Chain A
């Protein structure tokens, strides 16, 4: 444990190098701006920043993206509390108590509770992630191809099974992503697959164009169809943040503990992101807090629980991403994309080869949490001014960033067509309630899933039972089965209880 602490403390020197520090500050500011603007989502922001990292080295690239990610979980709180405009879906629970508290004449106090929650959620989860990650990596070093395949399968199926409004649609989206990853010349036999004689397709479809098209252009098209509107914002004349006193903070220590743990756990589980954590933490607080019945009336617990949990998911998400190479959310999928673009495959080997980089990423999260709180405290008045920008203008520029981002990688206009195609697919997906995240994850992890499957088959003479008979992969495959069975069982139980309620109702 001491060597972990020493490595972690030592990694701060890397974070404070001028380039890395600059990337951190830029990431925090841009992440907060993206979170404040209702037309831009956190994932979209991270996707749009990805092309800017081409020319950077790996460390500032990852620091930039993770800083955007973490401050994105906090920035939207301002608009939710002050103007009843949730910048991100994860900020919706803040409307119930945060906005209510502000509406009762205590906006500074409501913002203070958010800052307090984001700080503790971020710091506690980062420390927990630092403590857990080496153990995860050490365990993962025992993995062979079948274990990798099982882990990837678990990551992909749990993303579908845990979240998403429709599991069937989630699976179709995932299969599409996996299929996109097969386009081009395969790595083992050199056979052309689904290229249809188009030379450009022989190189495969870049996951970057899938991500940028589906998340960026697709989202803009959805908003365009709803008619862009710039929300009416009252002048934020006396906006300030008043952090809670020690006694007030001590009184809700149980809320902080519960929500941090929930956030970390839900962060580690692929598929359960910041939004889910925010809602689940609010629901848990309503059930278990001493003042649970008062939630919705503008109490501190209703602000602290969702904010702590959503910020805590970021460090939680980084654990499986860095130690196993499994992203659990859209934003971490983009960060994985950044790793791969720089030729680094996250996984247990990274801990062996470059532990300094891993600890520096965690240290940057730690510094990022402090930075984002300082930014929120001092720069909030300036930041919320972006709300005055017309959404039609910001969206036009977002599309342009998408195009240039995709074009910069290969300087090929065909990539622009890919952006348009995946933009339309993203729009159709959104409109038809097909989730985009499984497609993107399938696209990024498809290659790895296929190569670990093929390697297993070649190494074990086409014996597919190897995935079930080896101890670790067998356990993981059982977890896959559980992840698939759980929503089904839960659905059946709900229907049975609904039928019971209907039957017990008096007729006539």
Chain B
């Protein structure tokens, strides 16, 4: 009974490890179906523009299928590159460091903040959105000295604006009213036209 449960638990663990490959396989199949609908007119006998992506997708599907079967039914030990294994052997006698602790909340906050930045940049304009982003990112990242964070964000945003708009001539987003007024004011002060 216990061994059956252990075997089920083992299979479930293997299934979890195989999951990324199942996802990639499913996406590849979907893309392969889409690739079959690529519209083109090739002169007699020539291969079309669908062949190359279909070949890549077929190879991806084969690779995933191999790894899924291997993980589920055989061993799930990964086959490493030649030099990587040499590198591992060279590093083996030395003390291996413990993996660092992970903070999933930070990554959620970091990705959320980055998405919010891209969403807001067209409305707030480059200066305001960058100012907020830099300050918030530093704060989330654990740099908690308010004055230093504020100074770094303001100076950084202004420097980016000056260098890229005045020197490199990149047309950074100005923002919508009323936020664009801030951008126009700063542009006037910096002599940017």
Contact = CB atoms under 8 A, between A and B. Distances in A.
Interface stretch (A15-23, A231-239, A395-403): A395-403
A303 interface: no
B79 A168 contact: yes
Contacts of B114: 217, 399, 420, 423
A247 interface: no
A54 B170 CA distance: 11
A450 interface: yes
A454 interface: yes
B84 A165 contact: yes
A375 interface: no
A392 B142 contact: yes
Contact of A396 (B42, B64, B83, B137): B137
Contacts of B143: 228, 390, 392-393
A65 B152 CA distance: 27
Contacts of A283: 86, 89-90
Interface in A326-383: none
A186 B35 CA distance: 13
Contacts of A454: 47, 52
Give the interface SS of chain B, mostly helix, strand, loop or mixed: helix
Contacts of B118: 403, 413, 416-417, 420
B12 interface: no
Interface in B151-192: 152, 156, 160, 164, 168-173
Interface residues of A, number: 88
Interface stretch (A6-14, A191-199, A472-480): A191-199
Interface string A410-426: 01010011001001100
A453 B48 CA distance: 12
B29 interface: no
B87 A55 contact: no
A167 B20 CA distance: 15
B147 interface: no
Contacts of B141: 224, 228, 390-393, 395-396
Contact of A55 (B64, B100, B152, B168): B168
Interface stretch (A30-38, A66-74, A104-112, A456-464): A456-464
Contacts of A399: 114, 133, 137
B41 interface: yes
Contacts of B31: 179, 194
Contact of A487 (B20, B82, B134): B82
Contact of B48 (A191, A393, A433): A191
B133 to A, nearest CB: 7
Contact of B59 (A54, A175, A396, A433): A175
A173 to B, nearest CB: 10
Given A396-B134, A411-B170, A167 B142 contact: no
B87 to A, nearest CB: 5
A221 B111 contact: yes
A191 B38 contact: yes
The 7 A-B pairs with the shortest beta carbon distances in the complex, nearest first, are A392-B141, A166-B78, A392-B143, A191-B40, A396-B137, A283-B90, A186-B49
27 contacts: A52-B168, A164-B80, A165-B81, A166-B79, A175-B60, A178-B56, A188-B49, A189-B41, A191-B40, A193-B35, A194-B34, A225-B106, A225-B110, A227-B100, A227-B103, A296-B94, A390-B138, A392-B138, A392-B141, A396-B137, A407-B170, A413-B173, A416-B121, A457-B46, A462-B47, A487-B81, A487-B85
